[in-house]
């Protein structure tokens, strides 16, 4: 399969994904010269998981690794749950996005409410996605997908 997506590591330490052929520019420091292509992917989903993992703070990696020492079965469950959660929330964020590509906070809040999700805040989902370089703030309580 063709590898159309790349995981990029900027000199500032930020990891982000791009579609091949697109301009490479770090979302955190705006640098576009000093970067490394870490890995290529054929699917944007694999790329997003790799970006999220690469940007996970050391502390979280440490906690996850300690949890994983419990048993191999647990490790499998944890990974699957993380992937399922990620796509579920990402679908909701896409649903909260208007036809012109604008993600609105109040819309995401009401979608979470409609799905009876009380343990995850819309603000946290947005902050996480901003950190992962998936979205960028375009106006007050509005974001655009990158
Ligand atoms: Zn950077």
Residues 6+ apart with CB under 8 A from 75: 68
Would the pLDDT of 70 be above 90?
Answer: no
CB-based neighbours (< 5 A) of ligand 1, an ion? 10, 12, 14, 26, 28-29, 31
Residues 6+ apart with CB under 8 A from 134: 48, 145, 146
* Cα of 111 from ligand 1 centre, angstroms: 33
Measured between alpha carbons, how far is 89 from 15 in angstroms, rounded to an integer?
A: 21
Tell me the pLDDT band of 64, cut-offs 50, 70 and 90. Answer: low
Q: Which helix (H) or strand (E) holds 111?
A: helix 105-114
Looking at the fold, whether 120 and 63 belong to one and the same domain comes out as yes
At residue 50, the pLDDT reads 86
Does 42 or 75 have the greater pLDDT score?
A: 42
Quick: pLDDT tens for 24-37. Answer: 888 788 888 889 99
- The domain in which residue 103 lies consists of 58-145
At residue 35, the pLDDT reads 92
Looking at the fold, whether 63 and 125 belong to one and the same domain comes out as yes
* Cα of 59 from ligand 1 centre, angstroms: 21
Would the pLDDT of 134 be above 90?
Answer: no
Q: Which residues pair with 35 in a beta bridge?
A: 10
Measured between alpha carbons, how far is 68 from 62 in angstroms, rounded to an integer?
A: 10
**Per the structure, how many domains does the chain have?**
2
């Amino acid at each position: 399969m063709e590898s159309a997506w790349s995981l990029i590591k900027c000199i500032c330490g930020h990891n982000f994904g791009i579609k091949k052929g697109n301009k490479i520019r770090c979302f955190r420091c705006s640098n576009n010269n000093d970067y490394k292509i870490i890995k290529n992917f054929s699917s944007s989903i694999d790329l997003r998981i790799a970006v999220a993992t690469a940007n996970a703070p050391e502390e979280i990696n440490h906690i996850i690794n300690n949890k994983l020492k419990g048993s191999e079965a647990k490790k499998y469950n944890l990974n699957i749950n993380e992937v399922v959660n990620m796509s579920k929330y990402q679908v909701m964020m896409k649903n909260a996005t208007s036809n012109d590509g604008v993600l609105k906070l109040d819309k995401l809040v009401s979608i979470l409410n409609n799905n009876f999700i009380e343990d995850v805040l819309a603000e946290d989902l947005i902050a996480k996605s901003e950190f992962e370089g998936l979205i960028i703030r375009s106006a007050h309580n509005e974001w655009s997908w990158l």
